[in-house]
Structure 1
């Protein structure tokens, strides 16, 4: 029940958002919206004739690390744990998250969609079963796969292997996640070329990637995300053999480099990047990466932010 289609909102402040949501659901309300996904502090619930906006009281956001977790991991939406990779989020323009699902099996998710300008998800390890509106039956994201999730596309995370991990890059940093109460997935029709607000859904399967030479002892695999976003965003992976180099082109407002494996020497004045390290480039400059050992790197680019 989006803005414009719901009764006037009542507002309630609380000290525990998850507990307050559960209380309303127990009283017959339904969840309509929650935000942000990585550290929820606002939600909308409703039932016939009434809609309530629940807001976490100021100063109570940001939880400590979940039990058994490592520093900087926090509990997010649908049982997922998040680690923020860009602490200042570039003044709210971009968020890059390292997300993990510690428990295997069914994920407590629901059909939903995001109000977003750009969002891609790269599967770093493990496997996750997902389903998307108009894209056919559920499929499994495996390590090396990635998807572009256009704004408004309905989707759901169904199942996960134990400890599956993904890297997610989204713009803007904070955005609304709306629950879809009517549409059931999978949809009966497949519309693989459907336009969602100027973008098309992309599923890139890593094991089917076409690798091309680029640089010294370097190969790259491009995705179709550039075409699907009219080059507003581009995503590729690079493999650099030990002592080889790769050129990261100049020109885009945001470049995010995440080391999947190995070790690389980034631009001057930056320490060596090892597996799970990352760097953000925002000055539109080009840089050369030098691999200290066989390495694989995820590159996400946004033309403007």
Structure 2
């Protein structure tokens, strides 16, 4: 079936049912309605039922009385539960009379952040480093090792602009930020007013589980996205419409606040090393020190003193110009625009730049 034919069918579909053959319809109905709380939607014939449609917990099942073939694999049904509230001794897996396996799993899956590793990672911005990701977007993995699963850093671009086929969704994360390197992207966030344009130099902090949607992008859009943990869940929210019609700038999502940093309105102040200045994205204040994000520049050629960090993550991405990065344990490297580096904890390093160099700095935890 062609994609065009499938698209023509989709608008006319009204419901979906999962077919569940069973040899004893009465026993199956008793189990699903009595023990699991499903409701009967349809049953026939009335005098001697052989078919029933039941629904519950977001699933519709079509129970059909028929002989079971010997090689038929039983259906496996997962029910998301408040496991802590279930009666003591409740098994985590049940079996229906017809053999269907019912697995009871926790609806609130805890966020797991791996301990991670510390290592020096250098990524060069060559054209051969790009791969195709979801929705036709092109990805460049800036930390292939993911530092033991604790962090992911991606350089993402969309060569052709226009509407983005996105939907309202949210991420189960500890930390996530997006920095616009070039072009522009139109976004909308839960309780943060109308859709807005994020332009080159702008940045957003996406607090845990804030609903949002990407609407449109310019040709040649490029963003830097950094998240923790590296592998995290993305959920669709089909019940929320954005914008919500509300603007609550101080709202907390978990223990973080949304940040939309606009480069054109930013103020430059002295960085922690002489000869450099920075504009603070505001993420340190919005995360209570969990993370710090700054754009750093050197109006003149500058060389920083030898330094080190004792945290879990330090990352530089060169936006323009050149950055000379060196250290006893990491070697000497000249980074050009598009290159990046992750610096391990306690590794001494020094920076030197040519005039007008500019780079993005991300730190966890934040420090001035």
Q: Give TM-score scaled by structure 1 length.
A: 0.76
Tell me, yes or no, if structure 1 residue 260 matches structure 2 residue 322.
Answer: no
Higher mean alpha-carbon deviation, 89-98 vs 264-273, is at 264-273
Q: Specify every segment of 5 or more residues in structure 2 that has no aligned partner in the other structure, as ranges.
A: 17-56, 62-75, 79-125
2:216 corresponds in structure 1 to 159
The 1-side partners of 2:267 and 2:303 are apart by: 19
1:232 corresponds in structure 2 to 290
Match of 1:274 among 324, 327, 336: 336
User: How far 1:197 sits from its partner (Å)?
Assistant: 1.1
1:59 corresponds in structure 2 to none
2:130 corresponds in structure 1 to 73
1:291 corresponds in structure 2 to 353
SS in 1 for 2:148: helix
User: How far 1:78 sits from its partner (Å)?
Assistant: 3.3
Alignment check: 8 A CA contact 2:194 2:245 kept: no
User: How far 1:240 sits from its partner (Å)?
Assistant: 1.3
2:195 corresponds in structure 1 to 138
Inter-CA distance 120–284: structure 2 relative to 1 (3 Å threshold) = farther
Q: Specify every segment of 5 or more residues in structure 1 that has no aligned partner in the other structure, as ranges.
A: 1-18, 31-45, 54-68
Alignment check: 8 A CA contact 1:250 1:287 kept: no
1:49 corresponds in structure 2 to 60
SS in 2 for 1:272: strand
Inter-CA distance 270–28: structure 2 relative to 1 (3 Å threshold) = farther
Aligned ranges 1:93-242 → 2 under 5 Å: 93-214=150-271, 215-242=273-300
1:66 corresponds in structure 2 to none
User: How far 1:90 sits from its partner (Å)?
Assistant: 0.4
Give me the CA root mean square deviation.
Answer: 2.7
Alignment check: 8 A CA contact 1:79 1:107 kept: no
2:303 corresponds in structure 1 to 245
How many residues in Structure 1 have an aligned counterpart in Structure 2?
A: 253
Alignment check: 8 A CA contact 2:204 2:260 kept: yes
Deviations 1:90-129 (A, max 9, x none): 0111000000111111011111100111000000000000
Alignment check: 8 A CA contact 2:162 2:217 kept: yes
Inter-CA distance 212–174: structure 2 relative to 1 (3 Å threshold) = same
The 2-side partners of 1:300 and 1:29 are apart by: 47
SS in 1 for 2:285: helix
The 2-side partners of 1:217 and 1:165 are apart by: 29
The 2-side partners of 1:279 and 1:29 are apart by: 50
The 2-side partners of 1:299 and 1:52 are apart by: 46
SS in 1 for 2:292: strand
User: How far 1:192 sits from its partner (Å)?
Assistant: 1.2
SS in 1 for 2:326: coil
Deviations 1:68-104 (A, max 9, x none): x943322323332211000100011100000011111
Q: Give TM-score scaled by structure 2 length.
A: 0.63
User: How far 1:258 sits from its partner (Å)?
Assistant: 0.4
